Structure 1
Amino acid sequence: MAGFRIRQAAAEDARILADMLVEAANWNALRARPRVAVLEDPKVLRYVAGWKRPGDFGCVAEDTHGAPVGACWARLFPADEPGSGFVAVGVPELTLGVNTQWRAQGVGRALLQELGRLAAGSGANRLSLSVERANFAQRLYVSEGYITVESRATADTMVRAVR
C-alpha cells in the first residue's frame, strides 16, 4: 500500500464522503454530472445525509500529504426506504468512491477490505452493494467475493458474507 494510508471515517468526514459519492456516481466520464447535480438527487444524497448515524461505519484513504483519495462506507436502510443495493434489514449497504487519478492503484481494494474488517467488528454478517454492470468496479467486487443476488436493467445487487 505505497502512497496512501487508510483510517477510519469520523463524523467530520461527511464532506469527504460526499466528494467520494460524487466520484462513485461519475464512474463513467461520458455521463459525469456536476457535484451539485449528483448531490441534489435524494436517491444519491441518502448515502451521506446525516453522516455519521448510529450503525454507520467506513474508512478513508489519504495520500502521503493527508489529502483524501478515496473512501468506502456502509449504512443501514429501512425496508420502507431501501437503498439501491438493499437486500434485507440489518445488512449494511456500502459505497466506494476513489478519485479518478487514484483508480487502478489498489486504493479501492484496500478500502473494500478494510470495510469488511470494520463490518465484522460491527457485528454485520453480510455487506451489500449496487453496481452498474458496465462499471469496471464490478470486477473488483467479484474478485473480493461479492456475488450477484439480483439483476435489474443495467445494475446488479451484490452481497458478500463478512468473515
Structure 2
Amino acid sequence: MDFRLRTMKPQDSQLLHTFLEHSISFPEDQEWTEETKKEAIDRYLNNWGQMGDIGFIIELKASKEPIGAAWFREFSSNSPGLAYVDEKTPEVSIMVLPEYRGAGLSYDLLRKLIDQASMEGYPALSLNVNKQDPELELYQKLDFEMVRETSNTQVLKRAL
C-alpha cells in the first residue's frame, strides 16, 4: 500500500476533530463531563490554521483517503491543553486509524512534525499519552521524556 503525506489545511478541521475524539486521553484524576471533554477537544481545533498551527495528514495514495494525522498547536497558561508545559512549547496530537497501525506511519508523522518544529525555531514539543498506549514506546524512542503524570496518563516533552 502506498501512502502520501500532505500539509494540513483549515478545511481539514472536521477530520481532525473526528481523529482527536478517538485518540485523546483524559486524565482520570479530574472529573470530565461530556461538556468539559468537548471544550478540551475544541481547544485543539477551533480556528485551525492560525499562526503556529502546523500539521500533516497521511493518505492512501490511490484514493486520497486520510488514514492518520499529526499536528501541533501553541497554548497559553490561561487556556492550556492537556500536555501544557509552557507558552513556547506546542502540544502534539497524533492519530492513525487502527487498521493502519504497525506500518510505521506514526513514526513518519511524528518525525515530520519534529523536523518542522525544529525548522520553525520551537524549543520543544509536548504530548499527552495514556500509560497503556503502545505508542508510548515510540515516543520514548524519539527522545520524549516524562515531565509529569496522572494515574492513567503521562505528559512527555522532547527538546529540539
TM-score, normalised by the number of residues in structure 1? 0.86
2:156 alignment counterpart: 158
Report the count of equivalent residues. Answer: 151
Cα deviation digits, residues 109-142 of structure 1 (max 9, x gap): 1000001111112211100011110111211111
Superposition pairs of residues 13-92 of structure 1, within 5 angstroms: 13-25=12-24, 41-64=38-61, 65-92=63-90
Contact kept? 1:22, 1:39, Cα under 8 Å: no
Give the root-mean-square deviation of aligned CA atoms: 1.8
Consecutive aligned runs of 4 or more in structure 1 exceeding 4 Å deviation: 37-40
Identity rate, percent:
27
Q: CA deviation at 1:22?
A: 2.3
Distance 1:39 1:108, change over 3 A: farther
Structure 1: distance between partners of 2:95 and 2:155: 17
- Using a 3 Å threshold, how does the CA distance of structure 1 residues 38 and 101 change in structure 2: closer, same or farther? farther
State the 1:153 CA deviation: 1.7
Matching residue within 129, 137, 140 for 1:139: 137
Match of 1:34 in 2: none
Deviations 1:77-119 (A, max 9, x none): 1011111101111110000011111111111110000011111
For 2:41 and 2:11, locate their aligned partners in 1 and report how far apart those are by CA, in whole Å: 19
